[in-house]
């Protein structure tokens, strides 16, 4: 008499070994997307972003008055700024400083993104090659170190104009 094999060689529509391979591949893929499992607070601390003040030169457009610079600023310092202002140097296409100006962003609440425009009279946007943040003229707020606005400044440009420290 033949004995019936009671092993289950199939799980669903797949053989048992294939199902195990699929489960391993799915686990590896999920772990590579989400990272290894760990305790919540430790993982949250590891991914917390560094405090920063993001300042983006977003656009430079000719206007009736001269050149209009549009900035997008995000205060990720963790504290409100009651006043933030920067002295900038404007370089022409020959790389020579053409003029200097102060950009006053006024109040920047913590976690807030703000768009601000500055008209620079007599400046030709087409001849502007570089905007240098020369110095911080104001960085004020409760629990804000005076040098935080320069040390944690993250400048970037979305224009053809070079922008930074």
Taking only the tens place, the pLDDT of each residue in 50-96 is: 899 999 999 999 998 899 999 999 999 999 999 999 999 999 999 99
**Which of 77, 89, 74, 88 minimizes the C-alpha distance to 147?**
77
Locate 129 and state its tokens: 């090659």
Per-residue pLDDT, 70: 97
pTM: 0.69
* The pairing of beta strand 162-164 with beta strand 10-11: unpaired
Per-residue pLDDT, 10: 47
Show Cβ contacts of residue 50 under 8 Å, excluding neighbours closer than 6 positions.
152
Per-residue pLDDT, 48: 60
- Is pLDDT of 165 > 80? yes
Specify the CATH number of the domain 52-164: 2.60.40
Indicate the domain borders of the chain.
10-47, 52-164
Taking only the tens place, the pLDDT of each residue in 97-127 is: 999 999 999 999 999 999 999 999 999 999 9
């Amino acid at each position: 008499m033949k004995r019936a094999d009671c092993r289950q060689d199939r799980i669903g529509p797949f053989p048992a070994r294939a199902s195990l391979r699929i489960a391993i591949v799915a686990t590896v893929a999920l772990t590579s997307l989400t990272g290894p499992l760990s305790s919540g607070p430790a993982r949250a601390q590891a991914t917390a972003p560094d405090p920063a003040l993001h300042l983006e030169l977003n656009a430079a457009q000719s206007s009736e008055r001269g050149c209009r610079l549009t900035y997008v600023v995000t205060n990720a310092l963790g504290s409100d700024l009651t006043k933030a202002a920067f002295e900038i140097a404007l370089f022409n296409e020959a790389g020579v400083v053409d003029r200097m100006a102060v950009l006053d962003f006024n109040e920047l609440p913590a976690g807030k993104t703000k768009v601000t425009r500055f008209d620079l009279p007599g400046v030709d946007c087409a001849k502007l090659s570089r905007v240098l943040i020369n110095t911080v003229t104001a960085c004020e707020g409760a629990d804000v170190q005076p040098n935080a606005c320069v040390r944690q400044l993250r400048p970037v440009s979305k224009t053809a104009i070079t922008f930074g420290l």
